[in-house]
Structure 1
Amino acid sequence: MAIPSNQLTNEEKRMEEKQPYNLLSIPIIKKFIQSRWYPGIFQWIVLIVFSVIVYELVAGTVDPTRNVGTSLTWVLWWPLIPIFFLVIGRFWCAICPFGKLSDIVRKTIGSNRPMPKFLRKYGLWMIDLFFIGITYSDHIWGIVESPRGSGYLLLLLVTMVIATSVFYERRTFCKTLCFLGGLSGNYSRSGSLELRGTPEICKTCKTQVCFKGSDKAEGCPMFQFVRTMDSSADCNLCGNCVKSCPKDSIRISPRVPTSELWGIKKPMIEHTFLAAVIMGIVFVQNITMVSIWQDILNAIGSITGTDNYNVNFTVAFIISMAIPVALLLGTAKIATVTGGSAEKVKKNFIRFGYAIIPLDLAGHLAHNLFHIITEGKAIWYNTAALFGLNVTRADLAFAPASSVQMLQYIIIVIGMIGSIYTAYRIGNKGSFKALMPYYTLMVILPVANIYLFSLPMMHRV
């Protein structure tokens, strides 16, 4: 029972004021998360919709502009997913159909073996490679433009989910193989919601049910131990720890977006590499949709000696990913030129790479804003057709391209401010001169994005 404020000492009042606001202090939210309905009710809804999408992709029309699976996946879900991560953290992963399917398979026929050491050690790199591979495959085989290609990709992922769930414990696939895992982990670090334990309570707990599980809920599916958790990268807000905790130690709190990026205790090169690569992939996605793309292919072709699209795109893809990595590495070298050790360059490369994440998020949002605003009506037309409604099709756009461009510029500028401030905080609020190389990089990258967004874009779906 809460102690009346007039009975608290001054020290207790100060401690209470320092505590982040806990959404679980709202009885209806706490009761819902502790109930068996959470997150199951969302999981089953998403799984049913996912099944319809896969069926339509595989068996429906091959015209991507009229296939409801294509419009729901690439025009609606893909543009909205970074917003989910920004606003509510990694909650999508709690209700993702792959995660629910993994739980079903594991509980029915799974052997629950420990995660292989190889995946435990190299899982993040596997996620990075899968994300790069799927993006590359889209441009080579046209997955987005092909309902069948999208459907077969989802079925391939379903096969991987089933295979890993049959053999291994918890959500091994989600933790170490899901192509969305690295993206969601990086973006969730910028998110405005966090789940944490109360240190004073957790340190006296002997049960460890948040990790091991209890009769009320399984242990953390993402292998997290709330007592030591200081990142939202692997927390999917599934609520298992809230259900199991015997001392009400868990809190779910709003926070300042990007604030987690300022104090990463164990920065990892896998995260920095992916952050830089995502920026390169945003460049690729933008460049391939503007008129200068053919000129770029021709220029590359004059060097490679071939007009083969796959060859020249591969070169462009590698260069686009390499540029942000090289720029970050060069910036780290410039910033440490006076101190100069290779170890320090590497350390700063890894630390300040996290400052790119807000720009990644902004670039992803701005790029996909084009699709959801200029192609968004296809969602309504195709969904209506799925239910047999005869709706007259008109222009797919909700707003003109000029309005989209203005929104894109605003989003990129906000991302730039977020990245500059993150670099400032990572640098422990150092002098402007000391952090100038990083500030410069955080301006160069958005300027390049703004230039590409200023060019007319072609629809892909």
Structure 2
Amino acid sequence: MSINKDSSKKSNLLKKILAHPLYPGIIQWPVLLLFAYIIFVLAFGPILAHDNFGTAMTWVLWWPVLPLLFILFGRLWCGICPFATLSDVVQKFVGLNKPVPKFLKKYGIWIIDAVFILITWSDHVFGIVENPRGSAFLLMLIVVGVVFSGAFFERRTWCRYLCFLGGLSGNYSRSGALELRATPEKCAACKSASCYHGNEKAPGCPMFEFPRTMDTNAKCNLCGYCVKTCPNDSITVKTRIPTKELWGIKKPVFEESFLAIVIMGIVFVQNITMLSIWQPLLQTLERITGTTNYFVTFTITFIIAMGLPILALFLSSFLSNLSTREGIAKNFARFGYGLIPLDLAAHLAHNLFHLLAEGKSIFFTFMGLFGVEYHASAAIFSNSTILTLQYLLLFLGTAGSALTICKIGKSHHHKGVVPHLIFVLLLALINVYLFSLPMAMRM
């Protein structure tokens, strides 16, 4: 009983926060100003990443913390994101509010997949993360896309259909411990649809969601507009078991499962290129290809690291389909969601290294803005402690994926879960091996 009461109190508090007139603006504007300053420092501050406050804030703090926010609060970040705030401002003053093009609705997720892959590839080929000017250029490219989208299209078209981070957060938030839903009984008699269209209290849903029929966290950014506009107090905000949403997705989408396995490939790439084995591997590739051109050798590595997990998921879907007889693509789409918990865990484990092994660089570079220099270690914890935490995350992610796959199979009376369970175990073992090797630092 006490657990239920505590959960209810937390839910009521969260709902009160979302309903408050100052939310989300009270967080949006400071975040926007901070990001504007970060871009300025990246563009005009110290040229070395080790000394640049913008690099530390972007790649040592913001990027590593994001996956943790997704699992705790769903897409809350998207509600206060500076790019989304900029889109709202542009739209308010010069927006044409044109309908979203049909091709974006149909192919937006593929654009997100492609952009995510391209950015990861570009980072390693052109050294974006290790180069403050490159980081500034990347963020300004996003600003250009946001301004263009806000000027022409309605609501947050960029966030819903084009933002690669939105695609990532959409997948991860399905594993989140927080959900916002409408109460069907209260919505049945409602004729205003204020939650979607908005009213004098707040705008309509910026993410094109209709809370009355919403059954997923994937697109909800917890902006609180529907809580403010609902005339019947229908909206509930409550905690739930992480991964629960993944257990019974009614309409699995192939592209979303494809993104899940793409993210795993990206984590492999990020890990491999930071390991002590990377240089020997690179030299082997140079001997095989007969070229020392990094563009060529890394691209080959990238294609292999991205392609093998995709092919392996198709193989496990093929074997699973021998029992389910629903079609390989449909099996891929349905069980691909089971990879998301392990995706999230591997991503968190990788980013944890940057946060905990380089975390003090945030303070060091901040003090550097005032001419104070530090030459101490940037590590917050020892490598052995970080590795233990990484293994724990991988264990939880593996258990979450295994549970999800079993629940998916049970909800659809499928017997073909074993190939997917074996695949998840294989991915987990590969990640354990990669994390066991010494990693290089960014800062």
SS at match of 2:299: helix
Residue 117 of structure 2 corresponds to residue 135 of structure 1: no
Q: Distance in 2 between matches of 1:337 and 1:227?
A: 38
Q: Distance in 2 between matches of 1:338 and 1:363?
A: 30
Among 277, 280, 294, which residue is 1:295 paired with?
280
Residue 443 of structure 2 corresponds to residue 458 of structure 1: no
Partner of 1:437: 419
**What amino acid does structure 1 have at the position aligned with 2:47?**
V
Residues 22 and 304 (structure 1), Cα distance of their counterparts in 2 relative to 1, 3 Å cut: farther
Partner of 2:408: 426
Q: Runs (4+) of structure 1 moved beyond 3 Å? A: 20-26, 29-32, 429-434
Alignment map for 1:62-77 (pairs within 5 Å):
62-77=47-62
Partner of 1:415: 397
SS at match of 1:252: strand
Q: Distance in 1 between matches of 2:423 and 2:353?
A: 25
Give 1 or 2 for the bigger CA radius of gyration: 1
Q: CA deviation at 1:299?
A: 3.1
Partner of 1:25: 12
Residues 399 and 30 (structure 1), Cα distance of their counterparts in 2 relative to 1, 3 Å cut: closer
Q: CA deviation at 1:433?
A: 7.1
Partner of 1:10: none
Q: Distance in 2 between matches of 1:338 and 1:429?
A: 15
SS at match of 1:195: strand
Q: Distance in 2 between matches of 1:292 and 1:33?
A: 48
Partner of 1:47: 32
Q: Distance in 1 between matches of 2:442 and 2:100?
A: 39
Residue 339 of structure 2 corresponds to residue 356 of structure 1: yes
Partner of 1:7: none
Q: CA deviation at 1:392?
A: 3.4
Residue 65 of structure 2 corresponds to residue 80 of structure 1: yes
SS at match of 1:228: coil
Q: Percent identity?
A: 53
Among 102, 105, 124, which residue is 1:117 paired with?
102
Partner of 1:405: 387
Aligned positions, number: 438
**What amino acid does structure 1 have at the position aligned with 2:27?**
F
Q: CA deviation at 1:400?
A: 1.8
For the 8 Å contact 1:211–1:225, the answer to whether it is kept is yes
Q: Distance in 2 between matches of 1:88 and 1:264?
A: 20
Partner of 1:108: 93
Residues 231 and 380 (structure 1), Cα distance of their counterparts in 2 relative to 1, 3 Å cut: same
Q: CA deviation at 1:155?
A: 0.8
User: Could you give the per-residue CA deviations for residues 218-271 of structure 1, whole angstroms, max 9, x where no partner exists?
Assistant: 110000000110000000000000010000000011010000001111110111
Q: CA deviation at 1:323?
A: 1.1
Alignment map for 1:175-190 (pairs within 5 Å):
175-190=160-175
Gaps (5+ residues) in structure 1? Answer: 1-16
For the 8 Å contact 2:247–2:411, the answer to whether it is kept is no
Q: TM-score, normalised by structure 1?
A: 0.92
For the 8 Å contact 1:272–1:353, the answer to whether it is kept is yes
115-124 or 95-104, which deviates more: 115-124
Q: CA deviation at 1:432?
A: 11
Q: CA deviation at 1:364?
A: 0.6
Q: Distance in 2 between matches of 1:320 and 1:32?
A: 43
Q: Distance in 1 between matches of 2:350 and 2:260?
A: 16
Partner of 1:366: 349
User: Could you give the per-residue CA deviations for residues 354-413 of structure 1, whole angstroms, max 9, x where no partner exists?
Assistant: 010001100111011111111111001111222x26253311111221221111111111
Q: Distance in 1 between matches of 2:419 and 2:17?
A: 48
Alignment map for 1:264-413 (pairs within 5 Å):
264-338=249-323, 343-386=326-369, 388=370, 390-413=372-395
Q: CA deviation at 1:36?
A: 2.3
**What amino acid does structure 2 have at the position aligned with 1:409?**
Y
Q: Distance in 2 between matches of 1:431 and 1:114?
A: 40
Gaps (5+ residues) in structure 2? Answer: none
SS at match of 1:251: strand
Among 92, 98, 105, which residue is 2:83 paired with?
98
Partner of 1:213: 198
For the 8 Å contact 2:84–2:159, the answer to whether it is kept is yes
